[in-house]
Amino acid sequence: MASPLREYLADPFLSQMYEQVRAVGPIRSISVDLTHACNLRCQGCYFFAEGMDQTAAPVDERNFDAFIEREKSRGTNFVTVVGGEPALELGRLRKIYENFWMSVATNGTLRIPYDGLEQMPIGVAVWGDHETDRRLRGGDEVFAHALKNYRDDPRAFWYYTLTPGNAHEVPGVVRQCVENGNRVLFNFYGDLTGVGGELDHRRGFDEVHREVQRMIAEYPDHILLSDYVSKVVSTGTLYGDRWGHEVCTSLSVDHPVNRERLANGKPFNRHFVAYNADLLTTRRCCTSVDRACESCFDVWGHFSWIMLNLRQHLGSKREFTAWLTTMYLFYVINRIVDFDEGVELLPEIHRRTLTAPRVPVAVG
C-alpha cells in the first residue's frame, strides 16, 4: 500500500468504506436501452433528441435471453438500464435484476412492482416543481403521479435534474421528495434542444450548486450526492481537466468514434459499452450519439470520471476523502454494498465533504 493511503486509512471511518469497496472487486459495467418506446416526450430528452428510438428492441424473447448470457460470459456485472421507459418492459427488467447488479432510471408514471424486486435501485426522474415539470414533461402531472407511485418505497430515489434558472424551486421539490419518504440524487440539465432561458446550461450552475449545498445541510441523511460531486459536475472541471470526450470515462470501447480518445492516455472504463435498444449495436456513450459534450452534465458520467482518477486524489486526506466518498456513494446508491449500512453514513460523509456553511447565513 502506498504510504499516503496508509496514513489516510488509519481513520476508521475511511477504512470501513474503503474495505467495503475493495471487497466488491472490479465493476464491469454496461448501459442498455431496455426499450425504444416511452409514454412521455419530455422537452430536451437526449434519447429522442438524437433519434436513439430509431433502433428497435428485439421482439423475440430468445434474443433478449441470449444477450443476457453473452454479457454474463463477457464478465459484465453491472447494468445501467435506461431507454425509453424501462417500466414498459417489466419482464426484461426483472431478468436484468436477477442476473446483475443494476439500476434503472424511470419517469415514475408506471410503478415498478415491489414483489421480487425488493433491492432494485430505482431512480425516479423529476425535472422541477409541478409547474416546470408539467411544462417540460407534458400536462399529465408526472411528478404528482410519481410521488404517489413511490411513496415510502425504500428502493426509490429521486433523480432530480436541476435546470440552471430554477434554483428557487429546489427547496420545495426536495422537501416533497423527502416528505414522500425517499432520498434525492441530483442531475444537471443540458439544453440539448436549444430551449434557452432558464434552461440554458450556458448560464452556469453556480446558483443551483449553492442550493444543493443548502439541501445537504438541511437533509444530510436524505441527499445522495456529495458537495464534491456536485461541484465537479456543475463546474465541469477536475484537476485542471475540462469535462468532455477527451476525458470522459464512460465510452463504448468497441466504437470507432472513440478510438483516438481511448488512446490518449486518460483513464477510461475498459469494459463499458452503451447498447442501443437492439442490444447489438453500440453508440459513442450512454447519453449520446454525437451531441456536443459541452451540453453534457450527466451525473453518473462524472461519478465515473472521479472514480477512475484515484491517483490525482492522493495529495491530501481531504482529496482522498472526496474520492472515496464518491466511490462509496456510487456503491451505496446502486446497492452494490449494504444499502442500509451505507445510508447510515450519509451525515458523516456530508460533514466531511460539505464546504459551505452548515446553516444558511442571513445577509443584511
Residues that bind ligand SF4 (CB under 6 A): 38, 40-42, 45, 47-48, 83-85, 107, 244-245, 248, 250-251, 284-285, 287-288, 291, 293, 296, 298, 301
CB 177 within 8 A of CB 157: no
Which of residues 274 and 337 has its CB atom nearest to ligand SF4 in the complex? 274
**Shortest reach from residue 49's CB to ligand SF4, in Å:** 9
Identity of the residue numbered 333: I
CA dihedral 203, 208, 213, 219 (to 10 degrees): -170
State the minimum distance, in angstroms, from the CB of residue 327 to ligand SF4. Answer: 19
Q: Which residues, in sequence order, are CB contacts of 240 under 8 Å at separation 6+?
A: none
To the nearest whole angstrom, how small is the minimum distance from the Cβ of residue 83 to ligand SF4?
5
Closest CA to 159 of 132, 182, 185: 185
Shortest gap between Cβ of 172 and ligand SF4 (angstroms)?
A: 21
> Based on CB atoms, which residue is closest to ligand SF4, 12 or 139?
139
Q: β-pairing, 241-242 with 237-238?
A: antiparallel
* CB of 84 or CB of 342, closer to ligand SF4: 84
Instruction: Output phi, psi for 154, to 5 deg.
Output: -65, -15
Site of grid cell 432494485: 120
In the complex with ligand SF4, which residue's Cβ is closer, 56 or 66?
56
Tell me the HSE value of 350 on the side-chain side, using a 13 A CA sphere: 24
Q: Please name the residues in contact with 137: beta carbons below 8 A apart, sequence gap of 6 or more.
A: 40, 42, 43, 107, 127, 143
Q: Which is nearer to ligand SF4, 100 or 243 (CB)?
A: 243
Least Å distance between CB 128 and ligand SF4? 13
